[in-house]
Amino acid sequence: MIRVQFCSGCSNSTLSNNGRPLMLDLRRLSLLREVHRRGTLHAVARALSYSPSTISQQLSLLEREAGVTLLERTGRRVQLTPQAELLVAGASRLLDDMERLEASLVPSTQEVTGTVRLAVFQSAALGIVPQALSLLAEEHPRVRLEITQREPESALDEVWAREFDLVIAEEYPAHAAPLRRELDRVPLGHDALRLGVPAAEVSRAPSGRAIRSLAEAAEHAWVMEPRGTASRHWAEQSCRLAGFEPDVRFETADLQAHIRLVEAGHAVALLPDLVWGGRPPTVELVTLARDPHRTLFTSTRTAAASRPAIVAVRELLARALAPVSP
């Protein structure tokens, strides 16, 4: 059990109990941090695979250790007291310090080891991850890379919450990704965005002409990612700038489903080059005006950025992102 001392002579003096140092369990402090993030005990229990009663019991023990009330109920949610907010801030600093300490203890000459939990979106999983895994097995065989598919919007928050160590994220033109002071950002590369249309023998525009521009796809059905995603916002705005409102009949985050619908002649779509994973495209691709690209980057907690395993994985991801233009 890791315990942390808050002393009356330190900057955390408001956390002391009757002038005596507080010895607090770091795991319970982490639970309090999760409550601050998620808002309900049930949400914390669900995310961490505990029962709500276990979460409640651990937080009650933390209140007893601290000697102050930490949570106040407001309907179904719980609200942190000012003392709890101080504890959360202190716990975040302590977790950052522990990550920095862990990185500093690894000699530069030692073989890189450890586990990196990587969150990736689908097209990055298709176009970058396989080659990166091959490089990792060859150059850093003692690094374990655990990969989970996540949408970048949620994955950045999950890296901050320490559910992942590293994320591959994206920014679409004129659509900045969320910024967090605790996270860094390292450029990875650029990925072209093109209009995918059925092969000439499968489909023609209602006018009888082949589709050669975004405006000429106005009368087709569209497949797009769900509302609220950066790609959906960019795709809709691109269509509107081309002079039409897209007829979105199909909505899915699965880009492989996008491709199949286009292949079959049921829809058109805006597709990133990474989705092909270096293989020849199976639909006709139309280069758009001004040749738009999305920006790819990796992000981790600034306290973890110097961990040798994270440094190694980042370097291999950049090397794996070879030109993927069809």
The chain-wide mean pLDDT, for the chain, equals 85
Are residues 157 and 300 located together in one domain of the fold?
A: yes
Identify the CATH number of the domain in which residue 21 sits: 1.10.10.10
What total of structural domains would you count in the chain?
2
pLDDT at 21 > cutoff 70: no
Q: Which residues contact 174 (CB under 8 A, 6 or more apart)?
A: 234, 237
Count CA within 13 A, CB hemisphere, residue 104: 7
Q: Is 109 inside any structural domain? A: no
Q: Give residue 271's pLDDT.
A: 97
The dihedral sign for the CA sequence 272, 174, 288, 257: positive
Are residues 162 and 17 located together in one domain of the fold?
A: no
Identify the CATH number of the domain in which residue 174 sits: 3.40.190.290
Are residues 272 and 144 located together in one domain of the fold?
A: yes
Note the residue count of the chain.
326
Most confident of 32-46, 173-187, 231-245: 231-245
Rounded Cα gap, residues 315 and 133, in angstroms: 12
pLDDT at 242 > cutoff 90: yes
17-21's contacts with Cβ under 8 Å and 24+ in sequence apart are 17/66, 17/67, 17/68, 18/67
Mean of the pLDDT values across residues 115-133? 95
pLDDT at 7 > cutoff 50: no
77, 104, 131: which is the final residue of a domain? 104
Band (91; pLDDT cuts 50, 70, 90): confident
Range of the domain at 40: 3-104
Mean of the pLDDT values across residues 183-199? 94
Are residues 58 and 118 located together in one domain of the fold?
A: no
